[in-house]
Homo-oligomer: A and B are copies of this chain.
Amino acid sequence: MRAEVISVGTELLLGQIVDTNAAYLSRLLAELGIDLHNRSTVGDNFGRIVDAVRLALSRADLVITTGGLGPTEDDLTKEAAAEALGVEVVTDEDSARRIREFFAARGVQMPERSLKQALRPKDGRVLPNEVGTAPGAIFEKDGKTVITLPGPPAECIAMVDHAVAPYLREKTGGRGIIKSKVLRIAGLGESAVEERVRDLFGGRNPTVAPLAKAGEVHLRITAKAADPAEADRLTADVEAKLRERLGDLIYGVDDETLEHVVVHRLIELGLKLALAESCTGGLLSDRVTNVPGSSNTFLGGIVAYSNEAKTKFLGVPAGLIESRGAVSHEVAKAMASGARAATGADIGIGITGIAGPGGGTPAKPVGLVYIGLSTDGGESSHEYRFAGSRRDIKERGAQAALVLLRRQVEGVTGRGTGVGRG
């Protein structure tokens, strides 16, 4: 089977948004072994959407569109797909009812035009939207298929995962596949990671490709095989080599986040966590609480932005702040221990630093961050010098704290050099 992906939206052509949906769909098609030779992007223009769908149908059996399913006059994808395929659209009563209910549940009057979203191919299938109001649809005619999906990424991804992937999996059952596995590495910089594993990048099947993320490196292993078992065998071989080189620096696989790994380990160990944040401003608490079930380990966080808050909530002596400075090893440790003592947690983290853009001095420049760790075994503090914007420094700080926490709870020793230093 051969597919094409068409992204619809003038906002894409104006560069106002980056097209993450197309990448998501591309990954799915690769995993299913469906060839994808062309992707295209068009604006919210009926004639050009029809042309794009027709061209794609001339080269492929399956065309997936994203965008242009909303209630406005500019949303024309379903109508254009029907025109290109030569099929009729009718109002889907079930979708119309859902849309009415969506508004009713929110106590908002439904604009009449919202019902435009309930159009469906006469002989096709409706894909319910679990996140928003615009349903998707599957159009089929003469062995060709067009699937229309909504543009907002959360809606698109939910529909792909719950409806499109199962539909395509059934349609392609038994053919060759492409399977990827991502190894996630934290605590070692990109160049240092590549230094250790570069010779493994040359392979044809599986391939290994690095991708640098904020404070992490991801290595993607991609295998082509007749079936998942063969792909897994090919992947396991190169994965073993990568693990030999990188050891404990690999904290997780695929979509596992560092906070997920840390929170789950804390829960497993029955340990309680408390956080005291200054320069990261709540970002670390935010990441920890993104993990479902984090309330089983996370007792609370203090965003101690002022010196008074550090003293009042965390018991950091005002004299210590005065003598050492709010950004110091001593205050980071006192914050960590203060968070632990105030909540009765087993592990406390304290982060203090200068996120900028103002507030830096030659002795304590923007990007200087101290992270303190407190357990019943004692206190420690680590110094970091991060580069980048205010947001970059917040992100690097929160990431470094999670790396420290993981090392604490996994009993991982610092194998790499320059851990978290950049």
Q: Which residues of B contact A300 (CB under 8 A)?
A: 302-306, 308-309, 313
Query: Given A27-B14, A38-B42, A290–B394 Cβ distance below 8 Å?
Result: yes
**How distant is A258 from chain B, measured CB to nearest CB, in Å?**
16
Alpha-carbon distance A154/B388, docked complex (angstroms): 9
Q: Are A293 and B178 interface neighbours, CB within 8 A?
A: no
A368 within 8 A of B: no
A145 within 8 A of B: no
* Option from B16, B52, B275, B418 in Cβ contact (under 8 Å) with A108: B418
A96 within 8 A of B: no
A111 within 8 A of B: yes
**How distant is A263 from chain B, measured CB to nearest CB, in Å?**
12
Alpha-carbon distance A309/B343, docked complex (angstroms): 7
* Option from B15, B285, B289, B304 in Cβ contact (under 8 Å) with A27: B15
Q: Are A106 and B421 interface neighbours, CB within 8 A?
A: yes
Q: Which residues of B contact A266 (CB under 8 A)?
A: none
CB-based nearest B residue for A45: B37
Q: Which residues of B contact A209 (CB under 8 A)?
A: 10-11, 16, 74
Copies per assembly: 2
Q: Which residues of B contact A110 (CB under 8 A)?
A: 191
CB-based nearest B residue for A390: B292
- Select the stretch in A167-175, A225-233, A276-284, A371-379 that faces chain B: A276-284
- Select the stretch in A17-25, A85-93, A237-245 that faces chain B: A17-25
- Select the stretch in A136-144, A194-202, A327-335, A404-412 that faces chain B: A194-202
Alpha-carbon distance A210/B9, docked complex (angstroms): 12
A357 within 8 A of B: yes
**How distant is A30 from chain B, measured CB to nearest CB, in Å?**
5
Q: Are A289 and B303 interface neighbours, CB within 8 A?
A: yes
The interface residues of chain A, by DSSP majority, are classed as mixed
Q: Are A342 and B313 interface neighbours, CB within 8 A?
A: yes
A320 within 8 A of B: no
Q: Are A178 and B289 interface neighbours, CB within 8 A?
A: no
Q: Are A281 and B290 interface neighbours, CB within 8 A?
A: yes
**How distant is A93 from chain B, measured CB to nearest CB, in Å?**
21
**How distant is A313 from chain B, measured CB to nearest CB, in Å?**
6
Q: Which residues of B contact A52 (CB under 8 A)?
A: 38
Interface string of A95-120 (1 = CB under 8 A from B): 00000000101111011001000000
**How distant is A44 from chain B, measured CB to nearest CB, in Å?**
8
Q: Are B72 and A388 interface neighbours, CB within 8 A?
A: no
Q: Are B418 and A292 interface neighbours, CB within 8 A?
A: no
**How distant is A414 from chain B, measured CB to nearest CB, in Å?**
14
CB-based nearest B residue for A106: B422
CB-based nearest B residue for A388: B131
A73 within 8 A of B: yes
A146 within 8 A of B: no
Q: Are A108 and B14 interface neighbours, CB within 8 A?
A: no
A235 within 8 A of B: no
**How distant is A195 from chain B, measured CB to nearest CB, in Å?**
5
Contacting B at CB under 8 A, from A153-168, are: 154
**How distant is A11 from chain B, measured CB to nearest CB, in Å?**
6
Alpha-carbon distance A192/B191, docked complex (angstroms): 50
A402 within 8 A of B: no
Q: Are B313 and A152 interface neighbours, CB within 8 A?
A: no
A389 within 8 A of B: yes
Interface string of A204-240 (1 = CB under 8 A from B): 0000011110000000101000000000000000000
A-B contact pairs, 14 of them (CB 8 A): A11-B220, A15-B29, A16-B220, A74-B201, A74-B209, A108-B421, A108-B422, A282-B283, A289-B355, A295-B305, A299-B308, A300-B313, A301-B303, A312-B343
